[in-house]
């Protein structure tokens, strides 16, 4: 069983604020694990730090502090790590090179990661296209990105991510740029591949409905922190943190899929710098919320917890 463990990871960016250098904590002391055969959804509004987490796991950016362990070990060289951990990006239009054929996009990682040699790479590419249901695969291999629809391109991006034979797939808003009508197909494809290949999947999304449907567990992020996590149904049906409650109340009917970017955005005044970062938007804020934010278990579920004083045992 493969696992990717995130231990107390933080990411601080240096940004310019009115011409002065300032520190922006994009991810603040986050811990969780991804395991084979499970999808973990990371949900939260825009700017909460979801992509920064995915990018740190893909080793596209370094954590400022904390550790990421692959099967209990500090990850080795980047190429070997990328053979195990692959990412699918949000924008299928930007992620493929218009100058190269689809077959080229797939042969390259097969060769680079030693999964094929010159004589077998073309066949390997066709096999990958078959696995993501792009038919007829031998013809699709000769096409160029501009000849494909957004959904087909995202299937190619998924095929390319599968090429090195990864154990972990990071899917950063994989359907948010696609036509609503094909989003579920792509999410079902990722789900099928997860089951067939026993992948561990991180699903980054704004959308609570698909998070609940496709993920084993959900983590809710607010301003760089995971404020609630637990089994998907528990988090959505019995949200414990006032922020999750707000998201769940604003979410669409779970049987439909729509871009939830707008629906998840809730408004408030200037955010606090310490204590509970949500307290200025919280209808239940108490004096102790300005001091510390402990994590409490939610009664009735072993793995459901939230960072909120409302859950303190009386
Ligand atoms: N390279 C960077 N330099 C400076 N700030 C950054 C950088 N990347 C991200 N940030 C900031 O970090 C915070 C978290 O951004 P991130 O993209 O991780 O959020 P997100 O939850 O993925 O948002 P979205 O859903 O819009 O993609 C934001 O305030 C963002 O502006």
Q: Are the C-beta atoms of residues 3 and 72 closer than 8 Å to each other?
A: yes
Lowest-confidence pick of 88-102, 124-138, 244-258:
244-258
Greater confidence (276 vs 257) lies with 276
What pLDDT score was predicted for residue 95?
Answer: 84
pLDDT at 156 > cutoff 60:
yes
Q: Are the C-beta atoms of residues 280 and 270 closer than 8 Å to each other?
A: yes
Tell me the best of 10, 13, 22, 177 to mutate to test the pocket of ligand 1, counting ligand atoms within 8 Å of each CB and taking the most.
13
What pLDDT score was predicted for residue 253?
Answer: 54
pLDDT at 2 > cutoff 50:
yes
Q: Is the distance from the beta carbon of residue 10 to the nearest atom of ligand 1 less than 6 Å?
A: no
What pLDDT score was predicted for residue 258?
Answer: 43
Q: Residues 43, 47, 48, 51: what is their CA dihedral angle, to the nearest 10 degrees?
A: 60
Structure tokens at 279: 């307290």
pLDDT at 244 > cutoff 90:
yes
pLDDT digits (tens, 9 = 90+) for 175-190: 999 988 899 999 999 9
Query: Of 262, 277, 153, 259, nearest to 223 (Cα)?
Result: 277
Mean pLDDT throughout 8-24?
Answer: 92
Cis peptide before 3 (omega within 30 of 0): no
Mean pLDDT throughout 27-47?
Answer: 96
Give the residue whose CA is nearest to atom 9 of ligand 1: 52
What pLDDT score was predicted for residue 314?
Answer: 78
pTM flag (> 0.80): yes
Lowest-confidence pick of 99-103, 215-219, 247-251:
247-251
Q: What angle do CA 216, 81, 203 make, to 5 degrees?
A: 25
Ligand 1 atom nearest to 27, measured from its CA: 14
Q: Is the distance from the beta carbon of residue 194 to the nearest atom of ligand 1 less than 6 Å?
A: no
How far is the CA of 265 from the CAs of 111, 207, 243, 277, in angstroms? 43, 11, 11, 15
pLDDT digits (tens, 9 = 90+) for 196-241: 999 999 999 999 999 999 999 999 999 999 999 999 999 999 999 9
Contacts 24+ apart (CB under 8 A), 181-185: 182/150, 182/151, 183/210, 183/257, 184/210, 184/257, 185/151
Percent of the chain with pLDDT over 90: 82
Tell me the best of 47, 56, 262 to mutate to test the pocket of ligand 1, counting ligand atoms within 8 Å of each CB and taking the most.
47
Mean pLDDT throughout 64-86?
Answer: 94
Residue 4's Cβ-count burial label (10 Å; 0-12, 13-18, 19+) is buried
Q: What is the distance in A from the centroid of ligand 1 to the CA of 25?
A: 10
Percent of the chain with pLDDT over 70: 94
Ligand 1 atom nearest to 48, measured from its CA: 21
Structure tokens at 262: 């707008």
How far is the CA of 82 from the CAs of 15, 22, 86, 127, in angstroms? 29, 32, 6, 20
Q: What is the distance in A from the centroid of ligand 1 to the CA of 26?
A: 6
What pLDDT score was predicted for residue 1?
Answer: 81
What pLDDT score was predicted for residue 102?
Answer: 97
Q: Is the distance from the beta carbon of residue 50 to the nearest atom of ligand 1 less than 6 Å?
A: yes
pLDDT digits (tens, 9 = 90+) for 267-312: 455 667 789 999 999 999 999 999 988 999 998 888 999 999 999 9
Q: What angle do CA 215, 24, 250 make, to 5 degrees?
A: 40
- In the structure, what pLDDT confidence band is assigned to residue 154 with cuts at 50, 70 and 90? very high
Give the residue whose CA is nearest to atom 5 of ligand 1: 13
Q: What is the distance in A from the centroid of ligand 1 to the CA of 66?
A: 18
What pLDDT score was predicted for residue 132?
Answer: 97
Q: Is the distance from the beta carbon of residue 60 to the nearest atom of ligand 1 less than 6 Å?
A: no
Q: Are the C-beta atoms of residues 157 and 75 closer than 8 Å to each other?
A: no
Give the residue whose CA is nearest to atom 11 of ligand 1: 26
Q: Is the ipTM of this complex over 0.90?
A: yes
Tell me the best of 44, 48, 53, 176 to mutate to test the pocket of ligand 1, counting ligand atoms within 8 Å of each CB and taking the most.
48
End-to-end, the C-alpha distance of the chain in Å comes to 39
Structure tokens at 38: 């499970």
Greater confidence (204 vs 255) lies with 204
């Amino acid at each position: 069983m493969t696992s990717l463990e995130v231990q107390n990871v933080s990411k601080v960016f240096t940004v310019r604020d009115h011409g002065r250098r300032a520190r922006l904590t994009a991810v603040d002391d986050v811990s969780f694990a991804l395991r084979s055969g499970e999808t973990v959804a990371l949900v939260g509004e825009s700017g909460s730090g979801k992509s920064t987490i995915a990018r740190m796991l893909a080793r596209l950016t370094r954590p400022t502090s904390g550790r990421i362990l692959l099967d209990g070990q500090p990850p080795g060289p980047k190429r070997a790590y990328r053979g195990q951990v692959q990412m699918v990006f949000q924008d299928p239009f930007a992620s493929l090179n218009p100058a190269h054929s689809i077959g080229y996009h797939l042969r390259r990682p097969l060769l680079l990661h030693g999964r094929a040699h010159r004589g077998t790479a073309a066949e390997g590419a066709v096999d990958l296209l078959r696995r993501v249901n792009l038919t007829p695969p031998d013809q699709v291999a000769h096409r160029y990105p501009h000849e494909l629809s957004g959904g087909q391109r995202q299937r190619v991006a998924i095929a390319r991510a599968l090429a090195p034979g990864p154990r972990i797939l990071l899917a950063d808003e994989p359907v948010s740029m696609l036509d609503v009508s094909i989003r579920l197909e792509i999410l079902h494809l990722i789900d099928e591949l997860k089951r067939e290949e026993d992948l561990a999947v991180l699903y980054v999304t704004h959308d609570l409905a698909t998070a609940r449907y496709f993920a084993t567990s959900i983590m809710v992020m607010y301003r760089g922190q995971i404020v609630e996590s637990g089994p998907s149904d528990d988090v959505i049906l019995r949200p414990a943190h006032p922020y999750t409650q707000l998201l769940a109340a604003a979410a669409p009917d779970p049987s439909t899929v729509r871009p939830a970017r707008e629906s998840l955005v809730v408004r408030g005044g200037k955010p606090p710098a310490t204590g509970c970062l949500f307290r200025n938007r919280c209808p239940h804020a108490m004096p102790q919320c300005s001091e510390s934010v402990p994590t409490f278990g939610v009664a009735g579920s072993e793995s459901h917890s939230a960072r909120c004083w409302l859950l303190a045992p009386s």
